[in-house]
Amino acid sequence: MENILDNLVQFWQFTGFANCNFQYLIMILIGLVFIYLGIKKEWEPLLLVPIGFGIIIGNIPLFPGLQVGIYEEGSVMNILYQGVQRGFYPPLIFLGIGAMTDFSALISNPKLLLIGAAAQFGIFGAYAIALALGFTPAEAGAIGIIGGADGPTAIFLSSRLAPDLMGAIAVSAYSYMALVPVIQPPIMKLLTTQKERLIKMKAPRAVSQTEKIIFPILGFLMTAFIVPSGLPLLGMLFFGNLLKESGVTKRLAETARGPLIDIVTILIGVTVGCSTQADQFLRGSSIKIFALGALSFVIATTFGVLFVKFFNLFLKEGNKINPLIGNSGVSAVPDAARVSNHVGLEYDKTNYLLMHAMGPNVAGVIGSAVAAGILLGFLA
């Protein structure tokens, strides 16, 4: 009888209940909120549901040494986490993004590329503020990339520059990407006049297949020669797009934008969520990162919209750009473009901006990958 009791006491010590403290409960609550937002509000469900559940998995109080925790070398979760730590999930996701992205809007109106460049001010604005808050340049660079509104890029860069902050940065990046429809519209409305919001843009011209094939090849060569450190992301993005546009690799393109990206999204979501173990995540720096993340989105949106207004000064009447697509320079594809469209329709029911906004939106993907390459080159 005494042995049974001893065993039961010992078993109790192994359980999550015995090892639990309020920090774990807070994190589990955050995980549940993510799942709620994903399912009920449908805010980026493909990301928030895996991350939310990952947060719960990662915050089950463990008896140390069981070889199951994500930070315990050799555990299953740790092996899956290698894709995040060593940075090979993000390029695979970029392959899928490339295979599902239609660059036609951008090719038909190449000047929209510049809006994608302007929105990258969000990254470097947040970088400067992070430095002022006492983060090191490497940490500031990893935090700043949240402003690129690109989860895989944020994970890729933070795994190299500030692995300790990666969990907070990834969760922050994905959370704000989900909140794009909430963050961006007030800024867009604040910075534009009624007349500007009603600008109707020319319908994009039809783009030939030859142009679509040339784009990923030349785009890669140009950007990679300028920023070789962005090679993994840029290479996979443009390669994926070539698979899509070549017309002869349909099966590969379908795998890249279908099963492959789905598998990697599941793995990246769950493992990033898992990496937010309470003892690693609930720190003062995480709160600062969340605040800086929000700020970086605000700066990116502001600069995107203001840049279009500035650009319009040099464009002829009839060629002007609606500044409501300036927000799409951040690379949250296609949410930011959808926001442009929604806000545009609020003021003119016949002004569909979606196709126009897709141009700067995909330019933002290229821009944020280039920016990540620059940060990596300077700080890694």
Residues that bind other proteins (CB under 8 A): 106-108, 110-111, 113-114, 116-117, 120-121, 123-125, 127-128, 131-132, 136-138, 140, 161, 202-203, 205-208, 210-211, 214-215, 218-219, 222-223, 226-227, 350, 352, 363, 366-367, 370-371, 374-375, 378-380
- For other proteins, the closer CB: 114 or 198: 114
Smallest gap, in angstroms, from Cβ of residue 348 to other proteins?
A: 12
| 3-state SS string for the chain | CHHHHHHHHHHHHHCHHHHCCHHHHHHHHHHHHHHHHHHCCCCCHHHHHHHHHHHHHHCCCCCCCCCCCCCCCCCHHHHHHHHHHCCCHHHHHHHHHHHHCCCHHHHHCHHHHHHHHHCCHHHHHHHHHHHHCCCCHHHHHHHHHHHHCCHHHHHHHHHHHCHHHHHHHHHHHHHHHHCHHHHHHHHHHHHCCHHHHCCCCCCCCCCCHHHHHHHHHHHHHHHHHHCHHHHHHHHHHHHHHHHHHHCCCHHHHHHHHHHHHHHHHHHHHHHHHHCCCHHHHCCHHHHHHHHHHHHHHHHHHHHHHHHHHHHHCCCCCCCCCCHHHHHHHCCCCCHHHHHHHHHHHHHCCCCCCHHHHHHHHHHHHHHHHHHHHHHHHHHC
- For other proteins, the closer CB: 69 or 329: 329
- For other proteins, the closer CB: 15 or 136: 136
- For other proteins, the closer CB: 55 or 161: 161
Smallest gap, in angstroms, from Cβ of residue 120 to other proteins?
A: 5
- For other proteins, the closer CB: 41 or 205: 205
Smallest gap, in angstroms, from Cβ of residue 55 to other proteins?
A: 29
Smallest gap, in angstroms, from Cβ of residue 242 to other proteins?
A: 16
Smallest gap, in angstroms, from Cβ of residue 285 to other proteins?
A: 16
- For other proteins, the closer CB: 197 or 270: 197
Smallest gap, in angstroms, from Cβ of residue 235 to other proteins?
A: 15
- For other proteins, the closer CB: 58 or 326: 326
Smallest gap, in angstroms, from Cβ of residue 79 to other proteins?
A: 22
